[in-house]
Amino acid sequence: MKINVLTLYPEMFPGFLGYSLAGKALSEGKFSFNVVNIRDFATDKYKSVDDTPFGGGAGMIMKPDVVDAALKSVYKSGPIYYLSPRGEVFRQQTAHEWAKLNEITFLCGRFEGIDQRILEKWQIKEISVGDFVLSGGEPALLTMLDAVVRLLPTVMGNETSQYDESFENGLLEYPQYTKPQNWEGYQVPEVLVSGHHAKIKEWRLAQSLALTKARRPDLWEKYPDRNKYERKVS
């Protein structure tokens, strides 16, 4: 998977994706970064990349001509996303969709954002990391890509461990425990040491259902088997 990144801070990449599971996948070439410094495409002697907004208001806007030249230098195929609090919120489902792509391009904003005409001309989609405002798109992008990279084929050590995880089945994950069984008087739930696989499965599902209903009513509303379990979940 080839990841094109347009940014004013190229040194932020690969950032924390150079470590751990992602770092290994990066060094093995399972994905690659092609990072473009937008400032390299500035045309005036001050290397300006931003200017004041038409209509007035605070802050600066990234210039369309400069961003356009940066995009032309790198774009070949695949979707282009602008990191933006106005975008659709990134989810596990988005991570799965992106993990199937060969090439994807991202535009990281700074200042108050970019000129709207760039989004129109290049048919760029907007994607958000959540309902809060960052000072730039880079930390949002790195976070999203962390979720994508671990889904790439052969990146996760134990590939089956994905399927039980939060969001994968529409539910939050059940509580997990490891050794020692008795830790400072806190005991692991009996059922988990019973060796009774069907009972363990049932307990885990019940925990997942209860947690999801209590903490994420939005997910619970969308859960297809909700009616089947509604009465069992307190």
Find the binder of ligand SAH among 134, 188, 205, 210 (CB under 6 A).
134
- 198 touching ligand SAH, by CB under 6 A: no
Find the binding residues for ligand SAH in span 102-121 (CB under 6 A): 108-110, 112-113
Q: Which stretch binds ligand SAH (CB under 6 A): 64-72, 122-130, 157-165, 168-176?
A: 122-130
- 35 touching ligand SAH, by CB under 6 A: no
Residue among 6 and 155 whose Cβ is closer to ligand SAH: 6
The total of other beta-carbon atoms located within 10 Å of residue 65's CB is 13
CA–CA gap between residue 53 and residue 159 (Å, rounded): 48
Nearest-approach distance from CB 81 to ligand SAH, in angstroms:
9
CA–CA gap between residue 184 and residue 83 (Å, rounded): 45
Residue among 14 and 137 whose Cβ is closer to ligand SAH: 137
Ramachandran region, residue 93 (left: φ > 0; alpha: ψ -120 to 50; beta: rest): alpha
Nearest-approach distance from CB 152 to ligand SAH, in angstroms:
22
Closest residue to ligand SAH, based on beta-carbon distance = 109
- 14 touching ligand SAH, by CB under 6 A: no
- Nearest one of 210, 213, 226 to 175, comparing CA atoms: 210
Residue among 126 and 173 whose Cβ is closer to ligand SAH: 126
Contact 3, 104 (CB under 8 A): yes
Contact 143, 17 (CB under 8 A): no
Nearest-approach distance from CB 201 to ligand SAH, in angstroms:
37
- 21 touching ligand SAH, by CB under 6 A: no
Q: Name 209's Cβ contacts closer than 8 Å, sequence gap at least 6.
A: 171, 229, 232, 233
CA–CA gap between residue 38 and residue 9 (Å, rounded): 9
What does the binding site for ligand SAH look like in residue numbers (CB under 6 A)? 83-86, 108-110, 112-113, 128-130, 132-137, 140
